[in-house]
Structure 1
Amino acid sequence: MPKNLSEGTIKKWLQGWCLSRELPLPIRYKSGFKVDVGHEKQKSRYVFPTLNQDFIDLARTIDEPWVFLKVCASPAELKNLLPPQWIIQPQGYMMACLHTMLERPARLNPGYRMELVEYNSTYHLRIIAQDESVAAEGRVVLVDFLAVYDRISTHVNHRRKGLATLLLYELEKIALSKGVTQNFLVSTEEGKLLYQSLGWDLCCLYTSIVIPGGVKGEHNLTIG
């Protein structure tokens, strides 16, 4: 780390992110990409494969809240280049696994079952608990040669039972059944260690910034 990520890989990952979340596909913005998200606290996002003048100029132009700028760079590289209203968000990590994940025994515990739904080249897998609540869930989106993993999560009441590991293996099986062996995701700090234990490699830091909205004094908030 760091490893060079091609613009093509970033574009395909972002396409997968949009398909997973049923959003419009990204459009080109100078040397980066733009997605119209349309949420109250995320109007749009701009993603840049590298930190460059396009990113810096955009940060100096935008003054409205809830527009996220994201770049494959470290917070330290950004810190002295940003106008003061921008807030750096919790660290993200771009990760790849270009082989099958490391073998580990994983079996669904009694009392759980799996449900699979397919949409937009997306496979949404849920692990359902005995009380019919969602114990864990995640998605894999197949974009050409790339399997994009998105929104992998385990409910707090069902953690430390191996559900996330099992979920990842099952999603990988889907990708492999379609002939896709290159895996990619963006991880939080919390998820990074799990992915690394399964053989994923850290490609680069992925840093997000935003101007939070709301009343004066709220700019110390961190919004993911």
Structure 2
Amino acid sequence: MNATQRLEFFRRLKQAIPEPVTELDYSSTFELLIAVMLSAQATDKSVNLATARLFPVANTPQAMLALGLDGLKAHIKTIGLYHSKANHVLATCQILVEQHGGEVPATREALEALPGVGRKTANVVLNTAFGQPTIAVDTHIFRLGNRTGLAPGKTPLAVELKLMKAVPKEYLQDAHHLMILHGRYTCMARKPHCHQCVVIDLCRFKPKTVAPEGFASAPA
């Protein structure tokens, strides 16, 4: 895509998704961090069901540590990989208490030093909690970057770096959630809803872009 097409791409996404926000439930930066850590290889819905039980009893690092490993596991056992996630969460809480006064740090370096927090999780927290223009490349954004031609790359980092250059500055803050939500509900992996896509004419993904009878092939 050229610069004009990229600008139009995000203009249409923002028009279709006027409030691009995470679908994880949280009420503090700490809750967001924990929810994102728990969401690895799990759905937001499953995480929200678990945190609806967890956060009312432990929504600070100190309270999470007081809950203990067995107590934490009991609350998140419905989430995949909950054994390792519980260990990471408690280790992270310990560091937050000992090194950050119980607060979530606002730098990439400090976030990525936390157990169970990689670049993707750090980017989500930096973007959603601290308003930094970062893009966390999950499976949806990786797919969109390659499928649409917006930012093709062989690795999540390659796609992220290309997106940081390709996304128009005015949409950089919202690009992360715009692309996730578009990938989750329209540009799915197996059966994308191309006939409902607002950027179909800008997308380079051709095999499935023939609209069913009665649907327009491109947005007005």
Same fold (TM over 0.5): no
Q: Which has the higher strand share?
A: 1
TM-score for the superposition, normalised by structure 2: 0.29
Q: Which has the higher helix share?
A: 2
TM-score for the superposition, normalised by structure 1: 0.29
Where relative contact order (Cα < 8 A, 6+ residues apart) is larger, the structure is 1
Name the larger-Rg structure: 2
